[in-house]
Amino acid sequence: MGITLKLEIFESNLPDYVLESEVLTESLLEKNKLINKYYKRPPKTWNEFYDTGKYILEEEEKINNNELYGYVALYSDNEIGMCSIYEYIYSNRLSKDDPFPNITSPNITKALEMLKTIKNDISSDKLFRFSIDEINSLSQNGNVLFFTSYFGCSSNPKYVASPLPGSSEGISASSLVGFNVGINFHLNYEKTKAAIEVTKFITSKEVQKKIVMEKGLLSGIYSLFDEKDDLPNLVQKMKSNVN
């Protein structure tokens, strides 16, 4: 998904150019205060995710905190929900280098049973169908332990982001969403030339690095992530651990 398209100006038959100016990746957000309170870590596997969520919910119920939601997910009946299903299945492959698993394989059958257990025990049908806006709104008061959203879409300081869990440590998955910059096919030559200069500026390495540094977002220029000393720790973590 790196920005590799060379921009050229043609006298006639000008093509459209579409480049990614920003990349979003689905991630897990956890309430830092509760994770630290019970000496837990951001879960690396789905089994650990379930155990951590169930344990914290039960402990909070003991002190009458009955308003805590365990997990709010992005399995709504739309494109984002399909992305969540695909990445959950892919996160349950047996090895990091395995292709997309066969949906009828034993490990995926077991994984889907685990997803149902997660929904029944620490979430609900309703909480599994929330939109991104509904999730971000619900999490504002801090009454959600875990939720999934696209990295960079939630700025709530009560939560920290981490890669989605997988079948075992070192395995994860995430769908990528890009914001595109396009040039209108119907512009005249001079306007097209100006638009190309703007596009080249927006998608330049310098501007993309500024976006990463100041906004903490991911970029389509993967070579930026080789500059580890300059990048925010969280951005490094997300790039290096989404496998």
The per-residue pLDDT for 237 is 45
The per-residue pLDDT for 241 is 47
What is the residue-level pLDDT of the chain in tens, covering all 243 positions? 343 344 444 333 434 433 555 555 667 888 889 999 999 999 999 999 999 999 999 999 999 999 999 999 989 888 888 889 999 999 999 999 999 999 999 999 999 999 999 999 999 999 999 888 888 888 888 899 999 887 554 557 788 888 899 999 999 988 776 666 777 778 888 888 888 888 888 777 787 777 777 766 666 666 666 665 555 544 444 444 455
Alpha-carbon gap, residue 37 to 34, rounded angstroms = 5
The per-residue pLDDT for 2 is 40
In the CATH hierarchy, which fold is given to the domain comprising 26-175? D-Maltodextrin-Binding Protein; domain 2 (3.40.190)
Amino acid at 162: S
Instruction: Tell me the domain boundaries of the chain.
Output: 18-23+177-241, 26-175
Q: Is 226 left (phi over 0), alpha (psi -120 to 50) or beta?
A: alpha
Burial of 134 (0-12, 13-18, 19+ CB in 10 A): middle
